[in-house]
Structure 1
Amino acid sequence: MTRVVFETVLEVRWRDLDAFNHVNNASYLGYIEEARVRWFKSLSHDWAGETAAPIMAAVAVNYRRPINWPETVRVELFAERIGGKSLTLGHRILAAGDEATLYCDGHTVLVWVDRGGQSVPLPENVRAACA
């Protein structure tokens, strides 16, 4: 794993649970998305601006163990690959109070596109934050 570029702490919500009383697998994706958005907002107020924005091209999630409620999780993001027009962000969800408890890991591939849907170069502030 490379250097963590961003981390955030999130509370598991009651509505995140499924019929088996643990966090539904789709909610893991929501936690990862929330971490990405918070990271982008920390880099620029105009991260999804008038000219370009990141879109998800692929996502892989390895579910390591169920998350129960109540729980506080820490989502870590790290740069796995920096391309000309894309970024592969690794992610991990851990118990906030116990780094040995890994709930999931994986990666997301993001591509920057203009409003017409054409890919554009990776923004310099994102590239710099990952270096």
Structure 2
Amino acid sequence: MARHIYRCPLRWSDMDAFGHVNNVVFLRYLEEARIDFMFRLAPGNGSTSFQGGSVVARHEIDYKRPLVHRHEPVVIESWVTKIGAASLTIAYEVKDAEGPGTVYVRASTVVVPFDLETQRPRRITEEERSFLQEYVDDSADAGTTGPARAA
């Protein structure tokens, strides 16, 4: 199982009044990683997979530690935990780039492919499913959100 790695820079404007990255900004970080994963890594030469549109149906975020502004980027690891007929679930960890990495956020997003022309959800294509399958990890301890698990 592969994980998509996205290096996300922190911006001065990301901070809140307490000097931490604001909770809402993490949604922007997840969006950047998701777009990099789904659009830049779309399968096949010249493929339009995922570029026809998608919508977010659900976000779930567990804030683990405060993240203060710094010049080094954070790493966002993304992987797929579920592929349905017309939706997929992406899990994330936002963490330090170096060493074992402090985890700041664990999150998941349900994404629905969307036909912009008809303004309706659509099914996941076989090409998309094949691409996503390379990133599937649906194991209970895959790092997704939820209560901590005993070692």
Matched letter for residue 123 of structure 1: T
Q: 1:54 Cα deviation (Å)?
A: 1.1
Range 32-41 or range 115-124, more displaced = 115-124
Counterparts of 1:1-131 in structure 2, within 5 Å, are: 3-40=1-38, 41-43=40-42, 46-47=48-49, 49=51, 52-70=52-70, 71-115=72-116, 116-131=118-133
CA contact (8 A) 1:43 1:125 kept: no
Unaligned residue ranges in structure 1 (runs of 5+): none
Unaligned residue ranges in structure 2 (runs of 5+): 134-151
Structure with the higher helix share, 1 or 2:
1
Structure with the higher strand share, 1 or 2:
1
Matched letter for residue 102 of structure 1: V
Q: 1:53 Cα deviation (Å)?
A: 1.3
- 1:24-61 C-alpha deviation (Å, 9 max, x unpaired): 01111111100011112221663554xx3110000000
Q: How many percent of aligned residue pairs carry the same amino acid? A: 29
Q: Distance in 1 between matches of 2:19 and 2:34?
A: 26
Matched letter for residue 122 of structure 2: V
- 1:6-37 C-alpha deviation (Å, 9 max, x unpaired): 11111111110010011001111111100011
Scaled by the length of structure 2, what TM-score is found? 0.76
Q: Distance in 1 between matches of 2:55 and 2:77?
A: 19
RMSD between aligned alpha carbons?
1.7
Scaled by the length of structure 1, what TM-score is found? 0.87
Q: Distance in 1 between matches of 2:13 and 2:99?
A: 23
